[in-house]
Amino acid sequence: MSLEPYRRKRDFAKTREPAPDAAVPKSARAIFVVQLHHASRRHFDFRLQVGDTLRSWAVPKGPSYDPAVKRLAVEVEDHPVAYADFEGDIEEGYGKGHVDTFDRGIWATAGDAQAQLRKGHLTFDLYGERLKGRWHLVRSGRKERQPAWFLIKADDAYAGDVEADDLLDATMRRSTRRAAKTPATRALAKRATARRKGPPKARKVSLAALRKAVVATKGATKAGPPRDFFAPQLARLHEAPPQGDEWLHEVKWDGYRILAGIVDGEVTLWSRNALPWNDRAPDIVQAVETLGLDSARLDGELIALDAQGRSDFNALQKTLSGEAQAPLVYMLFDLPYLEGYDLSRCALVDRKALLERLLAHAPERLRVSSHNVGDGDAVFAMAMAQKLEGIVSKRARGGYHSGRGDDWWKIKRLESDEFAVVGYTPAKGARVAFGSLLLARPKPGGGWIYVGRVGTGFTDEMLRALGRSLAKGGAKTPPVPLDDIDPMLRGALWVTPTVVAEVYYRGIGNKHLLRQPSLKTLRPDKSPDDLRDSDRGSTRGVRKAAPKGGDPVITHPDRLVYPDDGIRKQDVVDYYRAVMPWLLPPIADRPTSIIRFPDGIAKHGFFQKHVMPGLERVGTAKLKEDSGAQAVYLYPRDADGLIELVQFGAVEFHPWGSHVATPDVADRVVFDLDPGDDVAWARVVAAARLVRDVLGRLGLQTFVRTTGGKGLHVVVPLTPGADWATVKRFARGVAESLAAMHPLEFVATATKRVRQGRIYIDYLRNGRGATAVASYSLRARPGAPVSVPLRWDELGRLASATAFDIRSVPRRLARQKRDPWEGIDAVRQDLDTVARRLAGDGDATPRRRGARTK
């Protein structure tokens, strides 16, 4: 972005417009401004602050609240941020005419604004007096002298039949009438005077049923609305979570504690020490207003979301200072007062139930902090595995009391990792040898990245030993970029990395430095080069051979299976024969459901799991069903049987997670990540990596594949296996814990209305008789996509879950040097070990064997 075009078009000796270098008070948040410009052609100037400039578009007809209306927005030169304050006449030169401020406020977007603009589609939220809700800027494909975009209102709670001219105030209407010299502008002036609507009101939550529930809640007492600040309930720090079902446990969110009071419909936000926050979080004020409450008290944490929809404290700080535009979310966890009733003496579980009902259809800026009842150690272990800040444990039947007490406990995560020692600070006072060690982690491609200094946790022997070896000499020039991040480093001495230190810390703080680091131990068994190699790993293997078989007759080979893509039945047969060495081994001898499309995917298809007349080459197994009756299931034994199923119209193959010989013993756990329609692919990738990391910290090795649909599968092999009840209980526990820890990202229920904008973790694939699509199976979708196993390091390079299809997969296999899932059958790991780890058995070593797979 550059202000040079803005400077070049103006003579600042004549115009009253601000110069590019004009001083302007820095806004606390990134702003937007819309100005009504009565130039030679009346238009609205729409401007978004991105960094230190205003990206600008001229919108001739102004914004429309109708989602069906696409308003032309012509991109013009960037303007200085100071231009947001400009009003009045431009007398001479470029843009002559009168300028009024139509609206001003803050704005937010999920992800990098510049990257979205480069791609040609920016999705953002406005929080102004006139313009509210979600909007889109979409680049037009039309060839114009200046880049053309469309400004479009999202179909949200604010959408309605309102145009910009309906929202003009008296001053702007007078300016419009003064400028009305042509028939067109006279018509606009007439309409602006005739139609004087206000901006659409957000659709509010229905409160009638909720009020009845409040009255019926045990302990609720009628009380007038409290008008003043209320001090929050606080938690005491403990080393471990409490035991028993009388406690519930929720995420300790990494943000700012915010209290909300509503009196006569007016919302007031406070910090925990009673500082007003309405001006800093007008987006949250608007969101709370949409609830339509007369009186309430809300307690929660203000957090920011990164591009993957996760909470990010650094993004919160940058957004509040105007450096970024991350969406803010008010994560609510308590409701001490609601609609004329004091709930502070009600049980916490009852207050949280009311809170969930209140927010069931609330704006996405308001979320409920989910919780688990009991199993505190397991919840904390999951929080540790996911690298969250920690958990807060609360008495489930407790009331709400201001101040610190024993009803709320906070248990913080204490991480450890290994870093290279790149320098030290000189000793001061009674300290010998040195003051602190300076730490760095490997930089991709070479070099080091400074992560902070550690000065506690040393024994006297460590100090003496390091004083004799490391803390002698050194250079004053650092080997790592510092950017003045720590004034204590001015007297530091820097050394070539030779020592590795393992350090405890409590998360990553601002400027990517370790929080509260403390030395755990020195690692004489490791060198700094080991830190670079720790994530590489290596596997070697050979391609699996397909069993030999007969040659089933293929009838109607020219029948179109994928009519829109010209893919025939013979093409499907040829594909399955080409991938047979990879497709067959993982599904052979497993009960397998098929999805048949005898007349092609454009016609009716059906699901089949039992043997049908005419099949001669497939295996059959008599298995007990849930009803207790027995039925004959089909399963592929060899290539001939599988091709025979294709001859009968099979397009998709979905095996069980167990074999026909041991149908009650599962040897696979499948986590199906199914994103909502508006979830970006990057979030699905990040979610899969998070599931991998969580399971990895439980001692489980995982494998990943595309589904050929919208999502990804994370697969856990089990040897020895487990009964289906155990597997399903484990899968459900992981899914629900992830949904509780990351409610902005995951849901663990199939209800579609709660899945919007989130990823459904489908754990129901892990029950007796349940199936998941096979690796290398085609999917009955346009384009003939394929479910494909991946190495973990490939995942970031994919554009979608449908990245592979019937044509590209054989080419991939031809150049593939090894199977991405090589070694999956050699992995030795089981759920009993995981259970012992979660129960805190320090002697429980995961029973894993086999090569590490990326």
Which are the contacts of 634, defined by CB distance < 8 A and separation ≥ 6? 591, 592, 594, 608, 609, 610, 611, 612, 615, 618, 619, 620, 645
CA distance 576 to 219: 65
Give 843's DSSP letter.
T
- Angle, CA 453 vertex, CA 448 and CA 458 arms, to 5°: 120
CA distance 185 to 159: 26
Catalytic residue among 252, 412, 569, 710: 252
Residue 788: closest CA among 852, 712, 674? 712
Annotate 131-156 with b (16+ C-beta within 10 A) or e (fewer).
bbbbbbbebeeeeeeeebbbbbbeeb
SS3 content of the chain, % helix, strand, coil (to 5): 25, 30, 45
CA distance 741 to 796: 24
Helix/strand/coil for 483 = coil
Task: For CA atoms 442, 448, 449, 451, give the dihedral sign.
Answer: positive
Look up residue 54 and give its amino acid: L
Extended beta strands in 17-153, E state: 31-38, 43-50, 53-59, 70-80, 88-90, 97-108, 121-128, 132-139, 148-153
Give 352's DSSP letter.
H
DSSP track, 756-769: TTSEEEE-TTSSTT
- Angle, CA 330 vertex, CA 287 and CA 372 arms, to 5°: 130
**Catalytic residue flag (residue 728):** no
**CA 524, chain centre distance (Å):** 39
CA distance 304 to 314: 8
CA distance 354 to 360: 10
CA distance 159 to 193: 22
**Contact present, 829 and 701 (Cβ < 8 Å):** yes
> Which runs of consecutive H residues, i.e. helices, occur in 500-565?
528-533
Rounded to the nearest 5°, which phi and psi values hold at 759? Answer: -110, 125
DSSP track, 505-537: ES-B-GGGPBSS-EEEEE-TT--HHHHHHTTT-
DSSP track, 150-170: EEEE-SSTT--S-BGGGG--H
Extended beta strands in 320-369, E state: 328-338, 341-342, 366-368
**Contact present, 463 and 469 (Cβ < 8 Å):** no
CB atoms within 10 A of CB 589: 16
Q: Which residue has the tokens 């902090």?
A: 369
- Angle, CA 74 vertex, CA 68 and CA 75 arms, to 5°: 125
Pairing of strands 518-522, 560-562: unpaired
Give 205's DSSP letter.
P
Residue 73: closest CA among 186, 142, 151? 151
**Contact present, 830 and 847 (Cβ < 8 Å):** yes
Q: Which two tokens stand for residue 688?
A: 């899969």
**Contact present, 434 and 474 (Cβ < 8 Å):** no
CA distance 77 to 25: 22
Helix/strand/coil for 422 = strand
Residues tagged active-site: 252
